[in-house]
Amino acid sequence: MKRILELTEDGSHTLYLPEMDEHFHSIHGAVQESMHVFINNGLNQCTQDEIHLLEVGFGTGLNALLTLLHREEKNIHYYSLEKYPLTGEEYSQLNYAQNYSTDIQAHFLQMHHGAWGKPIEIVPGFELTKLNCDLRTVDLSGLPAFDLVYFDAFAPGKQADMWTDAIFQKISQQCKPGSIITTYCAKGDIRRSLQENGFAMQRLPGPPGKREMLYGEKDH
């Protein structure tokens, strides 16, 4: 699968998939989008000190890096699902960590080249477990109950089978009451599906270039 490195409007990288005509992140700003959707309206809304986090789509590792950088005193157990991991050549070109210390740059590379299928302590208080799998078929029941979900799959128009009732039911069953789910998508049918699977949903203002996004809390 060919992936082309591109710059977005905030100067941060994204990858473009010609065969899907799809970008990994917003062309208006990859870091801006991830900060708005997943950090400000996800991580920062969690009040507990210890968080079990599920990410759908490890991709470029941007959400994981930003979570590491902005976790403050939170103890994070980060589980990320990815069917098609980047190659070393691809992730080594990404510029997300270039304005940080060499330690942060090393942590970002460790996130990518670290082993799949087992926990990796990136720093004390941040443990990453990458799972090379397909959400449509994987059994999540062996994982911990989650406090926070970053739903960052490709758009419904490009990958509709990742946005179904069955997918949201699977995720909901693995979430604690009061857990948070956040996604850049604001489609009405997605909001209704999440509501039908136990999340009290609301539309929030979206990141630059997008009017709205979805935020939900599990109500039962």
What's the distance, CA 172 to chain centroid? Answer: 16
Q: Is 7 domain-assigned?
A: no
CATH number (domain holding residue 148): 3.40.50.150
Residue 1, domain member (yes or no): no
Would residue 166 count as lying in a domain?
A: yes
Domain assignment of residue 212, yes or no:
yes
Count: domains in the chain: 1
Q: How far apart (Å, rounded) are the C-alpha atoms in residues 216 and 154?
A: 19
Is 12 domain-assigned? no
Residue 75 has a pLDDT of 98
Band the pLDDT of 1: cuts 50, 70, 90: confident
Structural domain of 197: 30-218
Is the pLDDT score of 220 beyond 90?
A: no
pLDDT in tens, 35-58: 999 999 999 999 999 999 999 999
